[in-house]
Amino acid sequence: MDLVDEIDRLKKEKNAVLLVHNYQRAEVQDVQDFLGDSLGLARKASETDADLIVFAGVDFMAEIAKILNPNKKVLITSKEACCPMAAMLSKEELLKAKEQHPSAKVILYVNSSAECKALADCCCTSANADKIVNAMDSDTILFGPDKNLVHYVQERSDKKIIPVPENGHCYVHNIIELPALEVAIERHPKATIIVHPECPADVQDRADYIASTSGMVKLVKELPGKEFIIGTEVGLIHRLQKENPEKKIFPAFENAICRQMKKTTLEDVYLTLKEERNEVQVPKDISEKAVKAINRMLELS
């Protein structure tokens, strides 16, 4: 049995759409209907006319798809694929921060749970975080759960931005440290350096460009350079190299691997489609509140 052929057949048979994040395994990326970052996939989830949505990503991404499509069946290819950073912010901690700063607006990175999004004024992604923060009618912003993205936004805003929690981070990007980047630069001195805003502050400061994964795709395509060092999860390298065969793409740190994203295999995609397993559910009361923050983000984007 050819899994790729079977996946294509099942998608047509069930009018299913397969949304795949940039950090997935190469073979999973290659069977996608839409490949992208969190913002791009959220947009696709809001626009799709498919009857069945299959998400190859992590938990919060599939939750967004369900929140935007409450009457459709949404499946996730691996129920164990849970984002550790999203788990760093609890509903209780966010409520406590809101009590301490009652006049602050709450902006949550989409890498957060649905119950936390239900308490937010607006969501954001790394592609639009600074724009979203600056659009808020408050001088104080509670922002979670990524401290490194807070640094990125604070450099681009005059507002007071308070991280919640104080030390929230993506473990994958946080291990892309400056010494590792310097090794990559020494090996490829002519390369243009592009890093993700989830990377540590000193790595951001060393880069030529800071961009979301969709921003990286655009920059590598449009910039005149022939060599690029990319500071993000290594899964993106496959897409960049595939779309730019004439260029050389190098990881800032080759061990920057998201174990949760890599849980999904091609067989998981097939079985999820075939058995319609791992259905995503979001309680109605939470969904109805969270959708307001997500839609606000899409409007401002």
Is pLDDT above 80 for 166? Answer: yes
Q: Please check if 46 is assigned to a binding site.
A: no
- Cβ–Cβ under 8 Å, residues 56 and 19: yes
**Per-residue pLDDT tens digits for 231-253:** 999 999 999 999 999 999 999 99
The rounded distance, in Å, linking the Cα atoms of 128 and 161 is: 15
Q: Please check if 116 is assigned to a binding site.
A: no
Q: Please check if 103 is assigned to a binding site.
A: no
Look at residue 146 in the predicted model and tell me its pLDDT: 98
Q: Which CATH superfamily is domain 3-83+261-281 in?
A: NadA-like (3.40.50.10800)
Q: Please check if 4 is assigned to a binding site.
A: no
Q: Please check if 110 is assigned to a binding site.
A: yes
CA atoms within 13 A on the CB side of 236: 28
Q: Please check if 113 is assigned to a binding site.
A: no
Q: Does domain 176-251 match CATH 3.40.50.10800?
A: yes
Q: Please check if 282 is assigned to a binding site.
A: no
pTM for this one?
Answer: 0.94
Is pLDDT above 80 for 156? Answer: yes
Look at residue 39 in the predicted model and tell me its pLDDT: 79
Q: Please check if 265 is assigned to a binding site.
A: no
Sequence-separated (6 or more) residues with CB below 8 Å from residue 38: 21, 61, 64, 110, 111, 125, 126
Is pLDDT above 90 for 301? Answer: no
Is pLDDT above 80 for 1? Answer: no
- Rounded percentage of the chain residues whose pLDDT exceeds 70: 100
Sequence-separated (6 or more) residues with CB below 8 Å from residue 130: 152, 153, 156, 157
Residue spans of the domains in the chain: they are: 3-83+261-281, 85-170+287-300, 176-251
Intrachain domains 3-83+261-281 and 85-170+287-300 with the same fold: yes
Look at residue 46 in the predicted model and tell me its pLDDT: 86
Q: Please check if 54 is assigned to a binding site.
A: no
Q: Does domain 85-170+287-300 match CATH 3.40.50.10800?
A: yes
Q: Please check if 101 is assigned to a binding site.
A: no
